[in-house]
Amino acid sequence: MARGAGVPLDRLYAVPRREFVRARNALAAELRERGQPGASRAVKALRRPSAALWAVNQLARRDRVGLERLLRAVDRLRAAQLGQPTPATFPAATAEYRTVLQALVGQAAAGLRAAGEPPSPATVERIRTTLQGAAADDQARVRLRHGDLPAEVGPRGFAAFGAAPALASRPAPSRRPAGPGPAPSRPAPPAPGRPGDADSARGAAERARRAQAAHEAERAAATARTALAEAEAAAAARHRELEAAQRAFRAARAHARRLAAALAGAERQARALAARARRAGPAPRDPG
């Protein structure tokens, strides 16, 4: 179900897992009352997320910056597998990816413990594979960013990162058997150049240039996404501070109103006492 259809799924996926069914039914009833029976039925059909899926979805709300770091690390690892900018960047990109992934897995598991659902080792592993699969899939990572993945994502979506690139690996040297052996064969002389070789070389160079440009554009986009996430986090913090200040102001204003009412009451009582005293006249003098 698309988020753009007027269905507030973000609100539904943000509730504690134990409250999902109640919140889902309430949302379905709300949509039905708003004249959206199709959306109501679709929401009613949603199943409560697994512990692993719920924990992954909360990362978009608890650590948006860390999630963007993971997506950026995936993009760098993809580029490194293609030897961009050089094959030597693959080990560093792999180490960065594993570090960021492990940190997010730990945070997701901690979120489950804080919610009263200590995760089992199997659940932690499902958190890891879902993060891997969603981060590597261009469509799933959109849902991951919004924190409304509808289902766990298996490791098959991460097959592109299953092995080191061919440019970064070399075959191990073979041992020659003891004793005399056949004479090593001489390398064949290079084939004479053909008219199409230059065109092929130019085409390969153009493809490499385009791939590098696409990689640089993606890196710039990832940097912009991270900056946006940090700005949104800062804005959210300022918004919370503003709400706290507004609550304090309202409480102080209510207290001031209560004090003003008490003062007005005291003044009315003082005036009434003074009026009674005037009506009673002066106090009688003591004859002694």
DSSP of 201-251: HHHHHHHHHHHHHHHHHHHHHHHHHHHHHHHHHHHHHHHHHHHHHHHHHHH
Write down the pLDDT at residue 220.
Answer: 57
Q: Are residues 154 and 58 in the same domain?
A: yes
Q: Long-range contact list for 269-274, CB < 8 A, 24+ apart?
A: none
- DSSP-derived 3-state class of residue 101: helix
Q: Are residues 86 and 141 in the same domain?
A: yes
Write down the pLDDT at residue 158.
Answer: 43
- CA distances for 6 relative to 36, 93, 141, angstroms: 10, 40, 21
- The better pLDDT of the pair 283, 255 is held by 255
Residue 35: domain span: 1-48
Find all residues with CB under 8 Å of 238, minimum gap 6, and list them: none
Examine the fold and report which residue of 135, 163, 191 is the final residue of a domain before the chain moves on.
Answer: 163
Number of domains making up the chain: 2
Residue 137 has pLDDT above 50, yes or no: yes
Which of 40-49, 76-85, 270-279 shows the lowest per-residue confidence on average (mean pLDDT)? 76-85
Confidence of residue 126 (pLDDT cuts 50, 70, 90): very high
Q: Are residues 36 and 141 in the same domain?
A: no
Find all residues with CB under 8 Å of 29, minimum gap 6, and list them: 40
Examine the fold and report which residue of 163, 184, 202 is the final residue of a domain before the chain moves on.
Answer: 163
Q: Are residues 73 and 60 in the same domain?
A: yes
Q: Among residues 18, 111, 105, which one has the least CA distance to residue 70?
A: 105
Write down the pLDDT at residue 7.
Answer: 56
Write down the pLDDT at residue 150.
Answer: 86
Residue 221 has pLDDT above 70, yes or no: no
> 143 exposed, middle or buried (CB, 10 Å; 0-12, 13-18, 19+)?
buried
Q: Are residues 43 and 71 in the same domain?
A: no
Confidence of residue 191 (pLDDT cuts 50, 70, 90): very low
Phi, psi at 287, each rounded to 5° = -65, -20
- 285 alpha-carbon distance from chain centroid: 87
> Mean pLDDT over residues 231-256, rounded?
74
**Dist CA 231 CA 229 (whole Å):** 5
Q: Are residues 42 and 93 in the same domain?
A: no
Which of 13-17, 97-101, 173-177 shows the lowest per-residue confidence on average (mean pLDDT)? 173-177
